[in-house]
């Protein structure tokens, strides 16, 4: 089979030929129909996260190379290990890449995505930029019925990440609109997920006019250019006078600061984006405004099943999908890094 591997940080992905895996024990082999290209693949490729002030969080001692990237995999179940009897050969599925050790405190509560010794597909072990992906256990297979695997692949990371983050706003979603910062792949899918959750919608803050346009097409109530001089006031007005929820899908020092300064008393900021940088926070604002600042990282395997149930009854979110051949994996990463992608790139073998 073909696979596209990271062989060194900062180096172009390498095309490799490998034998097609044969599942043993509880393993399940999935033939890739679509593999989403996520912004965290760009971080993996670069080899670090930017922590601001010249500090970096390096992957060098945490990842073993070569590594086949791709943690948004969908396709067809084509072979089962001898111990597997609860999934159907030939069925269409997405693969939950968020595999934990099943022993740590996080895993014990079902939060395998927060595992201290993760075995994530496409991060800690080979993922879906390939013709096939080997899944260690059927519990990570989520059958999707007749949904298109190419359009469904992004549910695994961008869909789940926004679903889990939006749930953290609780009852606020149904009461009033929230602000979403960033209209990249995550922002556009968030608008669709928010609708499925019965939310009152969102005003999208985005610097790129093309992405603001895409946000309107994906159902944003309004968009705001954060570089405009009256951005804060425009955002407040578009939200109906009060700012109680901000979902930051960019996660830079600037965006988090904008959120903290704009939120009203009792407001909540949920930070998802990993763009990087540091934030200087006037500490008294946190108690005086009774702010909640919360991080959200992917979502649990159980939340992924909840999301798939929701999608199977409401249909897929209307996020633009940019289908490209698997052989263009390296170019897709470059385009994403340079901000040239609208919606989600999904590689198809
Ligand atoms: Zn991702
Ligand atoms: Zn664990």
Locate 96 and state its tokens.
Answer: 């939950």
**pLDDT at 48 (0 to 100):** 87
Ligand nearest to the CA of 117: 2
Q: How far is the CA of 120 from the centre of ligand 2 (A)?
A: 11
143 in Cβ contact with 92 (< 8 Å): yes
Residues 6+ apart with CB under 8 A from 167: 197, 303
**pLDDT at 190 (0 to 100):** 96
Q: Are strands 222-224 and 202-205 parallel, antiparallel or unpaired?
A: parallel
Q: How far is the CA of 71 from the centre of ligand 1 (A)?
A: 6
CATH fold label, 160-295: Rossmann fold (3.40.50)
- Rounded CA-CA distance 29/81 in Å is 8
Ligand nearest to the CA of 113: 2
Q: How far is the CA of 297 from the centre of ligand 2 (A)?
A: 15
- CB-proximal residues (5 Å) to ion ligand 2: 100-101, 104, 107, 115
Q: How far is the CA of 2 from the centre of ligand 1 (A)?
A: 21
What tens-digit pLDDT sequence spans the chain (349 residues)?
999 999 999 999 999 999 999 999 999 999 999 999 998 999 999 998 888 888 888 888 888 999 999 999 999 999 999 999 989 999 999 999 999 999 999 999 999 999 999 999 999 999 999 999 999 999 999 999 999 999 999 999 999 999 999 999 999 999 999 999 999 889 999 999 999 999 999 999 999 999 999 999 999 999 999 999 889 999 999 999 999 999 999 999 999 999 999 999 999 999 999 888 888 888 999 999 999 999 999 999 999 999 999 999 999 987 889 999 999 999 999 999 998 888 789 999 9
Q: Are strands 14-17 and 28-37 parallel, antiparallel or unpaired?
A: unpaired
Residue 21, CA atoms < 13 Å, CB-side half-sphere: 25
Q: How far is the CA of 149 from the centre of ligand 2 (A)?
A: 28
**pLDDT at 286 (0 to 100):** 92
**Domain positions in the chain:** 2-157+298-348, 160-295
Ligand nearest to the CA of 301: 2
169 in Cβ contact with 245 (< 8 Å): yes
Q: How far is the CA of 98 from the centre of ligand 2 (A)?
A: 10
DSSP 8-state assignment for residue 137: -
**Of 131, 156, 71, 154, which is closest to residue 326 (Cα–Cα)?**
131
Q: How far is the CA of 266 from the centre of ligand 1 (A)?
A: 30
Locate 265 and state its tokens.
Answer: 């008393």
Ligand nearest to the CA of 38: 1
**pLDDT at 185 (0 to 100):** 83
**pLDDT at 117 (0 to 100):** 96
Neighbouring C-beta atoms of residue 261, cutoff 10 Å: 13
E strand or H helix that includes residue 106: helix 105-108
**Of 197, 196, 203, 292, which is closest to residue 240 (Cα–Cα)?**
203
Neighbouring C-beta atoms of residue 287, cutoff 10 Å: 8
**pLDDT at 255 (0 to 100):** 92
Residues 6+ apart with CB under 8 A from 170: none
Neighbouring C-beta atoms of residue 197, cutoff 10 Å: 17
Locate 17 and state its tokens.
Answer: 């030929």
Q: Is the dihedral of CA 68, 70, 75, 81 positive or negative?
A: positive
Ligand nearest to the CA of 112: 2
Phi, psi for 326 (deg, rounded to 5):
-50, -35
Q: How far is the CA of 134 from the centre of ligand 2 (A)?
A: 20
CATH code of 2-157+298-348, in short, is 3.90.180.10
Torsion of CA 93, 191, 165, 168, to 10 degrees: -120
Residues 6+ apart with CB under 8 A from 109: none
Ligand nearest to the CA of 162: 1
Q: How far is the CA of 255 from the centre of ligand 2 (A)?
A: 31
**pLDDT at 212 (0 to 100):** 96
């Amino acid at each position: 089979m073909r696979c596209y591997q990271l062989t060194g940080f900062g180096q172009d992905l390498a095309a490799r030929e490998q034998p097609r895996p044969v599942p043993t024990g509880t393993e399940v082999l999935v033939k890739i129909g679509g593999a989403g290209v996520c912004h965290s693949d760009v971080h993996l490729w670069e080899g670090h996260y930017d922590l601001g002030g010249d500090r970096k969080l390096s992957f060098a001692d945490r990842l073993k190379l070569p590594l086949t990237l791709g943690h948004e995999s969908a396709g067809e179940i084509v072979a089962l290990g001898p111990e597997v009897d609860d999934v159907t050969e030939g069925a269409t599925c997405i693969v939950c890449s968020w595999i934990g050790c099943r022993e740590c405190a996080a895993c014990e509560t079902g939060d395998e995505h927060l595992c201290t010794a993760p075995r994530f597909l496409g991060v800690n072990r080979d993922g879906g930029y390939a013709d096939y992906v080997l899944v260690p256990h059927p519990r990570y297979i989520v059958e999707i019925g007749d949904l298109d695997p190419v359009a469904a692949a992004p549910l695994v990371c961008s869909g789940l990440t926004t679903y889990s983050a939006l749930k953290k706003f609780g009852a606020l979603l149904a009461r009033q609109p929230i602000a979403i910062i960033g209209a990249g792949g995550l922002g556009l899918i968030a608008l669709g997920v928010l609708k499925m959750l019965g939310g009152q919608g969102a005003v999208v803050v985005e610097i790129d006019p093309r992405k603001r346009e895409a946000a309107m097409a994906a159902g944003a109530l309004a968009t705001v250019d954060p570089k405009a001089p009256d951005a804060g006031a425009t955002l407040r007005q578009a939200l109906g006078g009060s700012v109680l929820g901000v979902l930051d899908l960019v996660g830079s020092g600037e965006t988090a600061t904008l959120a903290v300064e704009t939120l009203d008393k009792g407001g909540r900021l949920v930070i998802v984006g990993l763009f990087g940088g540091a934030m200087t926070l006037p500490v008294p604002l946190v108690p005086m405004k009774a702010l909640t600042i919360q991080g959200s990282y992917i979502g649990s395997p159980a939340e992924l099943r909840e999301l798939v149930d929701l999608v199977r009854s409401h249909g897929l979110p209307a996020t633009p999908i940019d289908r490209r051949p698997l052989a263009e994996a390296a170019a897709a990463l470059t385009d994403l890094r340079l901000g040239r992608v609208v919606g989600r790139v999904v590689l198809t073998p």
